Structure 1
Amino acid sequence: MKYWCCKSTTGGATDTIKCIKCNHQYHLQCILPARNKRDTSPDFKKSWVCPECLLSRPKQPCADKDNTPVRASVSNLREDDNINFRRGGTSTSNSQYFHEEPIGQTSLLEQVRSIISTEITCLKDELRSSLAPLKNELKALKDEFSSMRESINFINVKFDDLCTRINKCESDLKTVSRQCSEFSDVTKKIELMEAANNDREQWSRRSNIEIYGVPQKKNENLYTILNNISDKVGYNLNRSTEIDFITRVASKSQENKKPKPIVVKFLCRWKKDDFLAQVKKLKLKCSDIGFSSNDNFIYFNDHLTSKNKVLLQSVKKIAKEKGYRYVWVKNCCIMVRRNDTSPVLHIINVNDLKKIQ
């Protein structure tokens, strides 16, 4: 509670009194130091008016309209003035009454301003002390945001670079896809051209016979060897009218130690087929045509192209795995058969290998 006589806010051990006009609280010790506690009866407290209210109350005119002057203001009186402000009072009590000067309104406002200023100063100090860690935290957040901004800028640069690379990859992928499509078309065309070329090459060899297993000698006469073979099988062969040429062909493998095969080209294909059918009936050996002490067999086949020879080896391998008994070549065509009663399969290219099941 606030008291209008001093700066104290508590009653303490002293008694208090309240003005019936302004309702302000005062300490008896401050406002009436010479009055005993027993003199402050309840009736006195109920009718007590503070000095400020007494001074502000105007003088009541007397009935006889005398010329008694209005009491002066308390602020204009000196402490040693012997003036009684209460009816029935004495000069002594009045002197004691003014021994403690009452607090005016200006002094009260100054006290209020001082208290408010003190409180504001305390609040400022508390606010500064509370804002100090917050300022550090804000600085840390600012540094973190700055680092995040740098990271985001770095990510944006990398993202733009990645987008550029992706766009370039997509463009390159389209180009590669188009080239792959073109390459696929070119590959198909090449395969068709190779197949056509192989067919033409095989067609040109339809009148040829390839002979394997004949030993090779220096300064040998291949026509003599062919005549010995025809004589052995009893086939009349005219060199000048039926044979175009005869020669040995080199093997593609340099490590092949076997004798080079002999290729005979007939002028007439049916003559070639007739001769080939005759020699395959007999199993001739090298000793039968003048090579003594050499019992190796001699093999007669159609003259296949390199591609068809590879295909023939693949057919033989798969036929052996699948249990096929017969693999042969007739009129430059590869044929395979599982047994004597099964149908004959014609193998022309690699795709026909799927027929062998």
Structure 2
Amino acid sequence: MVKCGACGKFLSTTDRACCHKCTAAYHKACVALPTLANVKDSWICPGCKIKIPKSDNTPCKPHTAGNDPACPPPAEDVTHGSAEEPKLDLAVEIRSLRNELKSVRNEVREYRREMQAALGSFDTKLCEFESRLSAIEKKQEQISLPNEKIEEAVSDLKFQLNEREQDLLANDLEITGVPEKKGENLLNLSSILAIKLGVTFDERNIVHLERLGPVRRNRVEGSDGDSEQRSRTIAIRFARRATRDQWVRAARVRRNGQIFARKAEGNGSIYIRTEKDVEKIF
């Protein structure tokens, strides 16, 4: 079925006016035509009338004073000069504007529905994200508790290991000032030191014996042309702490006294360690 070009409603065959130019159909009431009147084949719709250019085909100009019989006034155009045409055009434009407003309202409603659906989906996703985040935080808290226990266990193990190392160091003895020679036998050297200190020496009481650090050499060469080795510390680890304490007590008893000297009365005393210290004073 055909719709009216003005109001957009369907047309019946009896209540219809068709334009012979654009073939558009209208309700007779929408274009200000009597409902029972017959529409001529030369009828033009208001839209087509607006598009027809107006021209002045009068051969002579009208006079301002009086009427010229040679140039009679133009006859009134029944088709184009009707007084109802402006009203009809305005009504059509109003109906068209209403239709446009109606379509705009429909679009706005559709846009609102889409926005509400999008916001609802966003809220749902946000709630899911918050729930997942809270679950991850709970798992992290559960994981942190075993980590704290592990750290405590590691700390206890480190403390126990440090105590054991301290216990082992209690059995160690360091001897300095013993000249170092190439190819020396530290075990024989330790037995000689025991004899000098007056303690009994038993190889079974020694767990480990070595000189500490890499081999060092003096800058001054010896008489044979070879550079002399600098004496490194001898480290002895005894099997028992009592043996180590025995060596320490014997060394303290046999240690030489410290020598101090002063050049004149009233001067400060100076600790004498070598002959060069004596030369500095005197």
TM over 0.5: no
The bucket for the TM-score relative to the shorter chain is 0.3 to 0.5
Which one has a bigger Cα radius of gyration?
A: 1
* Normalised TM-score (structure 1): 0.34
Q: Greater helix share, 1 or 2?
A: 1
* Normalised TM-score (structure 2): 0.41
